[in-house]
Chains A and B, each alone.
Chain A
Amino acid sequence: MKKKIKKHHLIALCLLCLTGALCWLTGVQFLSMRKTDTFYPSPGLSAQTKLSDYFSQLADSPGDTAVYCFKGEEEGGNLLILGGTHPNEPAGFITAVLLLENITVSRGKIFIIPQANLSGFTHDDPFEGNPQKFSLETPGGRRWFRFGSRLTNPTHQWPDPTLFTNAAGQALSGTEVRNLNRSYPGKEKGHLTEQIAFGIMELIKKEEIDLSLDLHEAAPEYPVVNAIVFHENSAELAAIASMELQMEDIDIRMEASPPSLRGLSHREWGDHTSSMAILLETANVSHGRLKGKPSEALIVEGKDPNYVKASKLGMLFVPYSEDGIPLKERVARHLAAVNALVSGLRELNPDHAIHIGNFPPAQTVNKRGIGLYLHPPK
């Protein structure tokens, strides 16, 4: 006798197939964020290594990221530039990319890590509705970059504790366990994010880095914005750089790293190594809580009417108009600050001077765009 399939079973089967199809469609979208970005280092590149070369436990892990080394013929100082600590702060990441695709070094050594938290680039923040990518026009075509999350991908590090006490002893909310800039000095046998932090600390120590820079962005309503955040060991350098920037009409504030706020790069790098530690912040509306609809244009052009209103109400810590704060301006600001800090280091410690060639000029980047200095896509 033939057994008849019940109607609700047939519906369930159809829905299961539909569910599978939708999973495939959305899965492809999500997995597209795991495709690695291609960078085109300048001919001045001396070596490309991995963070695992400094801390072997990171090898083959989602936290193992590329380290680009530019070595001058003459001995000098050593500089570390970190972008992508927070992959949803694109100015820091793009500044690092711009530098690695252009510079040459005649004296000293420069280490660039454009995607410090590589795992954070493989997903985006839930409930934010941010685009997964943004693009920049170069003379040879459009280049795409991932717009990730502030935190490590939970599929790479799970579960979050209720309360996270970092290696420096600071108690923080549980999700901060995946925030690289709360995880310093890191732990050899800690979570993935702590291991990345530990790897970066090892690099600073082994390469005897004189100056370490961490490039970030913050919301315009956040008080520490358009700022140089400095450890007390780099106060003089920050002051010199700040004056130089003010002379170039770039308004930048100086913020001392609070000694009681532990786990951040500008605090722990300075406390645990001999390197001068500095963090740079620019103002990014796509990062803010007052933003309207998230879009690629919001990331690149930085225009948002809500922020114009907020500015008129005096709620922001940076000037903001209808023109917005575009990515090219934020990157130019980072470039100018890096340049001023390198020149400040030359002044303070001539034996550890660093000479950089083909440095993308901040003013030109601001006027003519970032794409002019990016390698065209292949």
Chain B
Amino acid sequence: MKIIYHLIVLLLTMNLIWYLFREKQFWTQVSTAIVLIMFLLRLFLIK
């Protein structure tokens, strides 16, 4: 179950990082970075 959780969060995290680099609007990039913090914490199972 833990592996499934990690895979889901990893996929979404990679998507966010990809989006962060693709996006050209500064404030959208900032918003993406803020969401990314939570995903990275979850990826490392830090709660």
- A interface residues with partner B (beta carbon < 8 Å): 8-9, 11-12, 15-16, 18-20, 22-23, 26-27, 30-31, 123, 153-155, 158-159
Contact = CB atoms under 8 A, between A and B. Distances in A.
Given A11-B26, A19-B36, A19-B40, A30 B2 contact: no
B46 to A, nearest CB: 5
B41 A30 contact: yes
B41 A27 contact: yes
A91 B11 CA distance: 43
A8 B41 contact: no
A15 B33 contact: yes
Interface residues of B, number: 21
B4 to A, nearest CB: 9
B9 to A, nearest CB: 11
Contacts of A16: 17, 20, 33, 36
Given A8-B21, A30-B46, 10 more contacts: A8-B29, A12-B21, A12-B29, A15-B30, A16-B20, A19-B33, A19-B37, A158-B2, A159-B1, A159-B5
A30 B46 CA distance: 7
B47 A154 contact: yes
25 contacts: A8-B21, A8-B23, A8-B26, A8-B29, A12-B20, A12-B29, A15-B20, A15-B33, A16-B20, A16-B36, A18-B33, A19-B36, A19-B37, A22-B37, A23-B37, A23-B40, A23-B44, A26-B37, A26-B46, A27-B46, A30-B47, A154-B47, A158-B1, A158-B2, A159-B5
A18 B34 CA distance: 10
A31 B23 contact: no
Contacts of A9: 21
Contacts of A158: 1-2, 5
